[in-house]
Structure 1
Amino acid sequence: MEDFLLRVVPGLAEQWRGSTPEEIGQIEVLAGRPLPPFYRWFLSRMGQSMGPLTYQRLDLSARRVLTSYAEELIVPHSRFLFIGHDSDERMPLHLFYDLDSPERADARVTRRYAEGGERYEQFETFRELLAYGALLNFRIGKLPQVCKALIRGNDPDILSHLDPVMDSLGFTRPVPTGPCCGLYERHDAAMVCNKVPRNRPEAVMVFKLAGNDPGTLRRIMGEISTASSLKIKVSEWTPPLE
């Protein structure tokens, strides 16, 4: 994960700043249990500043976490650990760890209001949330042509059918992921796909595929459709095709 972020995000090594061991220890006390190992790594590298990875409305800093608890914006909970403050004034859906849903040295992340209520599941792991955003913003967002589409299969495990095709097309998978998130890179293209983690997963994912021209993207999608049982329905081209 660290190698991937340092390669994809320009200037990250010079601008990220980690939390102090004392801050990490204070957050662990609030969690009431050992922190997920990946979150501990994140805090040690980016707990003070995420540099170019900083989200526009979401403050993931250790200081914001500790301040929110100290000011009683967030009430400590044995299951949900507050890790990100949403500054949206109308619908502030803050980011929480679901510590009762551990996964791959990490845990599920969800969004909800400070006082509780309905949860909006995000990713199986915080690692996937960060890696998805980095690839989307710093690779896909820099390529000239983007396609957004739905990909459907006969069973919920979409990636078991998609991965072999992407491997055959020369894509690499820079960060290990679970069945609800896929990340793919090639010198001339990149792709992210995801779906909401649920107990009963759907047999569909949303993806964004970017490359140098529409022809490249059509060939990639054509190979996925012909070499697997997956079906693709394009919803948007950016910029629009003539």
Structure 2
Amino acid sequence: MEAFLLDLVPGLQDAWVGATEDEVARIEAIAGRPLPRFYRWFLMRMGHDMGPLAYPTADFSAPKVLECYARRLFAPNPRFLMIGYESDEMMPLHFFYDFEHSIREDARVTKSHAVGGGFHHVFDTFREKLTWGTFLAFHLTTLPQSCVGSFKQRDGGDLRATLDPIMESLGFVHPVSTGPNCGIYRSAEASMVTYAGPEGLPGYQTFRLAGDDAARLRRVLGHLGRDSSLRVDVDEWRPQLASGV
């Protein structure tokens, strides 16, 4: 994970700033349990400053987490730990760990309002949220042509079990391993991310595929639609293709 981020964002190691051991221990005390291994790594690497990886309105820093609990904006909870404070007044949904769904030395990331209410589950793990978002922002959006759409497993089975072997046969690799609800694929020809929420529709994921030109992307989509049980729907090309292309 660390090698992936440093390769994707040159100079990141000079920009991020980690939390102190004391801050990590205090957050662990609030959680009332050992912190997931990945979250501990995150805090020790960028628990004070995420550098270029920082979110515009969400603060995942250790000092902010501790401040929010000190001000009693959130009450300690054996299941949920607030890990990211959202300052957007229009949509103030803060990020929480859901320890009831701990997995892969990490845990589910969900969002909720500080005053309570329902939870909106966003990623199976914090690791996948960070990886998926960084790959999208620092790689896919820099490529000249992209398209967005969705994949649907026609027989209702495991979408990734169908998708992964075909992508590997086309020369794509997984720069970082992920769980079943999001995929990261990279090759010399193109790159792609897929996503479904932890409680999304079975056999369905959205995707963004990007590369140097539309012809390359069409070849990838053609293989996926022709050689598998996947239904491929393209909703938009970015930039929009000229008429007849």
Q: Normalising to structure 2: TM-score of the pair?
A: 0.96
Name the aligned partner's letter for residue 195 of structure 1. Answer: A
Deviates more, 1:119-128 or 1:183-192: 183-192
Superposed displacement of residue 10, structure 1: 2.3
Could you tell me how far apart the structure 2 residues matched to 1:91 and 1:13 are?
Answer: 31
Residue identity over aligned pairs, in percent, reads: 49
1:22–1:156: structure 2 CA closer, same or farther, 3 Å change rule?
farther
Q: How does 1:97-136 map to 2 (within 5 A)?
A: 97-136=97-136
Asked if 2 retains the 8 angstrom alpha-carbon contact of 1:108 and 1:124, the reply is yes
Please say if 1:188 is aligned against 2:196: no
Q: Which runs of 5+ in 1 are unaligned?
A: none
Could you tell me how far apart the structure 1 residues matched to 2:40 and 2:233 are?
Answer: 39
| Aligned position for 1:77 | 77
Q: Normalising to structure 1: TM-score of the pair?
A: 0.97
Q: Does the residue aligned with 2:164 lie in a helix, a strand or coil? A: helix
Could you tell me how far apart the structure 2 residues matched to 1:201 and 1:234 are?
Answer: 18
Superposed displacement of residue 224, structure 1: 0.9
Could you tell me how far apart the structure 1 residues matched to 2:43 and 2:131 are?
Answer: 15
Please say if 1:227 is aligned against 2:220: no
Q: Does the residue aligned with 1:178 lie in a helix, a strand or coil? A: coil
| Aligned position for 1:167 | 168
Name the aligned partner's letter for residue 178 of structure 2. Answer: T
Superposed displacement of residue 155, structure 1: 2.2
Deviates more, 1:79-88 or 1:182-191: 182-191
Q: Does the residue aligned with 2:134 lie in a helix, a strand or coil? A: helix
Asked if 2 retains the 8 angstrom alpha-carbon contact of 1:156 and 1:201, the reply is no
Could you tell me how far apart the structure 1 residues matched to 2:157 and 2:180 are?
Answer: 9
Superposed displacement of residue 99, structure 1: 0.8
1:85–1:160: structure 2 CA closer, same or farther, 3 Å change rule?
same
Q: Deviations over 1:2-40 (max 9, x none)?
A: 110000112211101110000000000000001011000
Q: How does 1:30-49 map to 2 (within 5 A)?
A: 30-49=30-49
Name the aligned partner's letter for residue 194 of structure 1. Answer: Y
| Aligned position for 1:204 | 204
Asked if 2 retains the 8 angstrom alpha-carbon contact of 1:6 and 1:12, the reply is yes
1:156–1:180: structure 2 CA closer, same or farther, 3 Å change rule?
farther
Could you tell me how far apart the structure 2 residues matched to 1:124 and 1:106 are?
Answer: 9
| Aligned position for 1:24 | 24
Q: How does 1:123-162 map to 2 (within 5 A)?
A: 123-153=123-153, 154-162=155-163
Could you tell me how far apart the structure 2 residues matched to 1:122 and 1:202 are?
Answer: 15
Matched positions, count: 241
Could you tell me how far apart the structure 2 residues matched to 1:187 and 1:150 are?
Answer: 22
Could you tell me how far apart the structure 1 residues matched to 2:193 and 2:57 are?
Answer: 22
Name the aligned partner's letter for residue 139 of structure 1. Answer: H
1:215–1:105: structure 2 CA closer, same or farther, 3 Å change rule?
same
Could you tell me how far apart the structure 2 residues matched to 1:175 and 1:190 are?
Answer: 13
Q: Does the residue aligned with 2:161 lie in a helix, a strand or coil? A: helix
Q: Which runs of 5+ in 2 are unaligned?
A: none
